[in-house]
Structure 1
Amino acid sequence: MSTAPQPWWIACAAGGMLALGAVGWLARELSAEPSAGHLRPSLFELLEEVRQPPAAPEPGRRAAPGPPSQRSWQSPLRASCTITDPGQRQRLQRLVGQVQTSPARVQIHPTNFGERFTRDAYGNPIDPTPQLVVLHETVYGIGSAINTFLTPHPRDDDQVSYHTLIGGDGSVVQVLDPAKRAFGAGNSAFNGRWVVTNAKVGGSVNNFALHVSLETPLDGEDEGPAHSGYSPAQYDALAALLAGWMETYSIPAEHITTHRAVDLGGERADPRSFQWSALQQRLQNLGALCRR
């Protein structure tokens, strides 16, 4: 038995009823007041969510990666309030003032330094205040180091700088204002801490570090493990510089370290032949190692 075709007006009426039903449901959804315990979002809210572009990550929402494990820094500097050489103390106190107010200054090329960041590459707030001092050596003469800093280096791998250089005769050259970020240590960390300012190249201590480099003696212009060491005048100037930085930025003696210690690649050995006892004596006589 065949079924007779429905008249066209019946099909239209059925379609109209479905459309009216959908419109009525939509109107109820858009105008409905949320009842107690009713947590389901309205259709209006769902449509608004679809129309909105994805929100940008808020500062601090993405966790920054930590550095790989490394040996903790054990400072060779000991706390002491004993003045062992009053004459040296007076001489170094005068030198502290000279280093802070009248060092020689060089204006290096902008590609070799940067600003200190207040947020890392993941949007997290970071403290740009200097909190660490890293000791280096130039390997070649101080003039060679200055020429390197004056030369433009567009490639990241070639960029390098320190805040201060100390010549073999004790001369102090401020290469970069401490407020700026020197490129003294690339892939580096200190006691499990680094700052990632470029997610593509990993982290570094540069954003919270000060860098000072001692001019290497002539017999150290090679890759040997040691050389004849640094002059008494260099240790004098270094102690005067460090004492000023320690006071200005509240840097503890435990945060004076070496490039060798912070380098994560195991490629750095500087400063070679460094005598911590010579620095200990001078900082102690300056009262910079006295904890009360």
Structure 2
Amino acid sequence: MVVVGFNFKKRRNLALGIAMSGVGAGLCVFAPLMQMAMDFYGFSGFFICCAGMQSNLVTFGMLCFPSQLENHSHILRQRDSHSLSTGKNVFKRKIMPYINVCRKKGIVCLCLSMFLYCTGSYLLFLHLPKYITTKGFSENQAAFLISLSGLLTVVGRLLTGVVANIPNCNGIILYAGSMAVISITTIIYPFFSQHYVGHLVYIIFMGLFVGSCYVALTTVSLMFVGINYIATAIGLVFMFGGVGAILGPVLAGILVDSGGTYDQSVIVAGVCNLIAAVCGAFSTRFAAEGTDGISIFVEKTHTSEEGRTSKEKF
């Protein structure tokens, strides 16, 4: 996401949608391929195949050379550091700009939003296949629905990139709105899960909207920080999302092991997603902050008629 953000400007959202659609394609294609690898090669061969795929990430990552914007942003971050008082120690001068990112109220809202969204989403992903089979449907039917969600995720992320690239499109509405759609459909999902059509309708909504917030995240983050600190902002938001991804499956296990039902765990996931949508929408209150305190600045030298020089930062 950061690399794409540094390489595109006018069509950044569209590029993000295309790039992130690979997640859904991988879910749809590699899940059955990995099952075939495990059946043919056994567990040892299966993990070797996984390691080989992971090594390709390094290869493609090495092809992502820094763009001019990324190099320029690096220079600006150094200027931000040196612009602080010389009396401060080197560590404080280096770390203060990043602390200012953490202090942004809009970024804090996005962190809470992503934490709750990942908590609910990973709780749901853990129980969804089992939940479908407990409603009287076969494992093959459950596997088909999961694969269908991956295919629809490709479509959903591409469409999100197209919509987000429309001029005057509100990124926060797109970000929080997709979470709201997922939360509402998840909360009412148990009430029509007795029918296979009900599962199918839910999977369609989930596939189309579950990844939309990730596509819009870069644009939303740029409302609170400058492009020179976008990597810090996205990294911070996803750190909280990672904590939620850890807690979600744990919470799911506790709910079922303590006597709860899969219906209850699905509703809890929907409530988490709903609160995440509210936190994301609430961040718009702080969009007026802009990038104060961590903004990109440029020094411009002026020479007066008397021969005096002065520097202006803006």
Q: TM-score, normalised by structure 2?
A: 0.25
More strand by share: 1
The higher relative CO (CA closer than 8 Å, separation ≥ 6) is in: 2
Length-normalised TM-score, structure 1: 0.26
Whichever of the two has the greater Rg, that structure is 1
Question: Which one has a larger percent helix, Structure 1 or Structure 2?
Answer: 2
